[in-house]
Amino acid sequence: MPYEKMSARVREAIEDYFKLQLGRPEILNRIGENIVVFNYIRNDVAKLILNSQVNKIIKNIYVEKHITLTISENAREILTEQALTNLSNGGRGIGNVVENLLINPLSRYLFDNEIFNDASVTIQNIDVSNMLPSLECSRK
């Protein structure tokens, strides 16, 4: 459904809710035209958001700790698959996936292996089968 049609339907549903269900059209009048209907994130846009977030992590860990982080194609595919599973939470949902599957396990790996700076780490796999996701990494 095109965005314009969807936006019109959402606005109509909101108007019906205030007028017919709540019986309070004056509240709708106070809101006025300040209803913004956002378009849903499509897979191509979600991938751009994901790549942006991952690249920012790679850059920050290098700038702050001089740790070169490489993510294998397999690990990126798993991360992408998980990020695209449920786009109903938008960009925030993608950020939650990145935090849960990449940032937190990477932090644990670096701490457990006493990697605090000047290293190269490659993430070969992301295991999502456990309650606590884990990374399979190697260090140079």
Tens digit of each residue's pLDDT, the chain (140 residues): 677 888 888 888 999 998 999 999 898 888 888 888 777 789 999 999 999 999 999 999 999 999 999 999 999 999 999 999 989 888 899 999 999 999 999 999 999 999 999 999 999 999 998 777 778 888 87
DSSP H helical segments within the chain, as ranges? 3-16, 25-31, 43-65, 73-84, 90-98, 104-112
Question: In Å, how far are 46, 95, 117, 133 from 92, measured between CA atoms?
Answer: 11, 5, 29, 19
CA distance from start to end of the chain = 50
The conformational region for residue 125 under phi > 0 = left, psi -120 to 50 = alpha, else beta, is: beta
Tokens of 108: 């644990």
CA distance 109 to 119: 13
pLDDT, position 11: 86
Whether the CB-CB separation of 86 and 119 falls below 8 Å is answered with no
pLDDT, position 1: 62
pLDDT, position 97: 96
pLDDT, position 58: 98
